[in-house]
Amino acid sequence: MRMQVAEGRFLLPVLIVVVGLAVSSAFVGAQVQSTVPEALAEALLFYNDLEFEKGISLSAGLLERDDLSAQDSVAIFEVLSILTYAKGEEYFKESLGYLKRISDVGPCVVHLPHDIWPQELRDNWYDILNVSKSLTCADESRPGVKTIAIMEFDNFSIGKYQEELGPIGKGLADFFEHDFGKISSMTVVERDKIAYVLKEIELQKSGAVDMSTAVRVGKILGAQYMVFGSITQLDSKQTRMVVRVVSVETSEIIASVDKEGKPEYSKLEKELVEQLAELLDIQLSDDIKKLIQEGGTESLDATTFYARGLEYMDRYDYKHAYEYFKKAYDLDSSFVEAKRKMEVYQPLAI
């Protein structure tokens, strides 16, 4: 039996944004009728209510329209894949079939995957993109935009902090990805796409990746910049975070920042994002700076719970992933990243 959770319809707001507004207004040149995103948002309400068949029926009915744009079709297949996947393991191949239909429409019609995709679907989408040689899609509508790829951070802490902080490097890379993604002049490569390429070229060694390997990954993914970071916590009151940016073209370090302070990793990360933007000659408006400061958490425990959730998510262990995202959110109800992850994985927690 699927877990029922008292918090209610967490998923609706983000799904309306991703499927509704993204389909109706963010796709340049798309002529999308409002009834399509509205219907898809309604279908995805059934995801949170665990009534997957109802959502599938509603979404599939939209395919009978004769006025669908390519963007419409992609959005419909996307929702059908998510809802079918949620039905269980025996429906996995059918769910992948919808991803292949997206690829048939055009793997670069829309930048995918969206945040609402479960991790296993994301990884299999990268397989499809790899086969079609479409791991990178040129965005001609945004000339001059730089692409940045963020490696998982190294944890050089000693003693008990090495173990207690666990996979915090995943969490910090995730935070940097979110915040750099708020800068309109930057495109950020997804953390899991980097992991996929590392696995494909068989250069990931016990989780440690050297700079030359990472630069090679950056070239494959069309990135101009690679970000490397590390943390070193020696006691309960002090930590140090170091971040370097490497030019993929020259393999040279072009920016380096470090900061010491209390182990408030989300706060340190946001400060370093702004410092790196300045060193890279990226102009941040007051509105963008305000956006960067949103989200995250001041709680060290919430940060480590979130990172642990990412670790389980990467293993497709959705039950434990959900539990850790919920622990993070329970500690800090303003931690929006944890809340969003809960929204995705609550219906999949068994």
User: Does residue 248 share a domain with residue 122?
Assistant: no
> Which pLDDT value is given to residue 137?
81
Looking at mean pLDDT, say which of 138-152, 212-226, 294-308 comes out highest. 294-308
Count of domains for the chain:
3
- Residue 263 C-alpha from the chain's centroid: 24
- Which segments of 114-231 does DSSP mark as H helices, in order? 119-131, 160-165, 168-180, 191-200, 211-220
pLDDT above 70 covers what percent of the chain?
A: 87
Average pLDDT over residues 194-206: 76
Q: Output the domain CATH number for residue 270.
A: 3.40.50.10070
Is 5 domain-assigned? no
Average pLDDT, the chain: 88
Reduced to 3 states (helix: H, G, I; strand: E, B; else coil), residue 30 is: coil
Q: What is the pLDDT of residues 15-54, one digit of tens each?
A: 444 444 344 333 333 444 448 999 999 999 999 899 999 9
C-alpha closest to that of 63 among 47, 79, 49:
79
User: Does residue 321 share a domain with residue 242?
Assistant: no
Is 266 domain-assigned? yes
User: Does residue 327 share a domain with residue 289?
Assistant: no
Contact predicate 304/172, CB 8 Å: no
Half-sphere exposure of 169 (CA within 13 A, CB side): 24
Is 299 domain-assigned? no
User: Does residue 112 share a domain with residue 26?
Assistant: yes
Domain that holds residue 333: 305-350
Confidence of residue 350 (pLDDT cuts 50, 70, 90): confident
Q: pTM of the full predicted structure? A: 0.88
**What are the backbone angles phi and psi of residue 38, rounded to the nearest 5°?**
-65, -45
Residue where a domain stops, chosen among 85, 110, 138 = 138
Average pLDDT over residues 119-145: 85
User: Does residue 151 share a domain with residue 129?
Assistant: no
Tokens 């959705």 appear where?
318
User: Does residue 123 share a domain with residue 30?
Assistant: yes
Q: Is the pLDDT of residue 213 over 90?
A: no
> Which pLDDT value is given to residue 247?
95
Is 190 domain-assigned? yes
> Which pLDDT value is given to residue 88?
95
User: Does residue 82 share a domain with residue 189?
Assistant: no
User: Does residue 331 share a domain with residue 242?
Assistant: no
Tokens standing for residue 272: 């370093």
User: Does residue 170 share a domain with residue 125?
Assistant: no
> Which pLDDT value is given to residue 26?
35
Confidence of residue 244 (pLDDT cuts 50, 70, 90): very high
Is 289 domain-assigned? yes
